[in-house]
Amino acid sequence: MMKTVVFGGCGSERFAKLLAKRIKASYAPVRTSYFPDGELLLRLPADVRGKHAVLVYSFQPYPGEVLLEALIAIGAAKQQGAKKVTLVAPYLGFMRQDKQFHAGEAVSNSIVARLLSSADMLVTMDPHLHRIKSLNRIFSTKTTTLTANQTLADHLRRNHSDKMVVGPDEESSQWAASVAKLAGLPSIVLKKKRYTATKVRIIVKSKIPLKGKHVVIVDDIISTGHTMIEPIKQLKKLGVKSITCIGVHGVFAGNALQDLKKLAMVETTNTIHNPVARIDVTKAFAETLR
**Catalytic residue positions, numbered:** 192
Window of 22-30, 110-118, 164-172, 181-189 that interacts with ligand R5P by CB under 6 A: 164-172
Specify the residue, 47 or 259, whose C-beta has the smaller distance to ligand R5P. Answer: 259
Which of 8, 225, 231, 250 lies at the binding interface for ligand R5P (CB under 6 A)? 225
Q: How many residues lie near ligand R5P (CB under 6 A)?
A: 14
Q: Is residue 249 at the binding interface for ligand R5P, with CB under 6 A as the rule? A: no
Find how far residue 131's CA is from the centre of its chain.
17
Window of 36-44, 143-151, 169-177, 208-216 that interacts with ligand R5P by CB under 6 A: 169-177
Give me the 123-162 binding string for ligand R5P, x by CB under 6 A, dash otherwise: -------x--------------------------------
d(CA 234, CA 91): 29
d(CA 122, CA 131): 20
Residue 289 DSSP code: H
According to DSSP H, which parts of the chain are helical?
Answer: 13-22, 63-79, 108-116, 149-159, 173-183, 226-237, 256-261, 282-289
d(CA 215, CA 176): 12
d(CA 267, CA 271): 12
d(CA 169, CA 229): 12
Give me the 182-221 binding string for ligand R5P, x by CB under 6 A, dash otherwise: ------------------x------------------xxx
Contacts of 105 (CB under 8 A, 6+ apart): 97
> Cβ of residue 181: shortest distance to ligand R5P, in angstroms?
18
Q: Is residue 226 at the binding interface for ligand R5P, with CB under 6 A as the rule? A: yes
Specify the residue, 21 or 99, whose C-beta has the smaller distance to ligand R5P. Answer: 99
Cβ–Cβ < 8 Å for 246, 268: yes
Q: Is residue 224 at the binding interface for ligand R5P, with CB under 6 A as the rule? A: yes
Q: Is residue 167 at the binding interface for ligand R5P, with CB under 6 A as the rule? A: no
Specify the residue, 130 or 273, whose C-beta has the smaller distance to ligand R5P. Answer: 130
> Cβ of residue 128: shortest distance to ligand R5P, in angstroms?
6
Between strands 265-269 and 242-250, the pairing is parallel
> Cβ of residue 132: shortest distance to ligand R5P, in angstroms?
13
Which of 109, 227, 271, 282 lies at the binding interface for ligand R5P (CB under 6 A)? 227
Q: Is residue 223 at the binding interface for ligand R5P, with CB under 6 A as the rule? A: yes
Contacts of 272 (CB under 8 A, 6+ apart): 11, 58, 60, 90, 91, 249, 250, 251
Contacts of 45 (CB under 8 A, 6+ apart): 28, 29, 30, 31
Window of 3-11, 86-94, 167-175, 180-188 that interacts with ligand R5P by CB under 6 A: 167-175
- Give the binding site for ligand R5P (CB under 6 A): 130, 169, 171-172, 200, 219-227
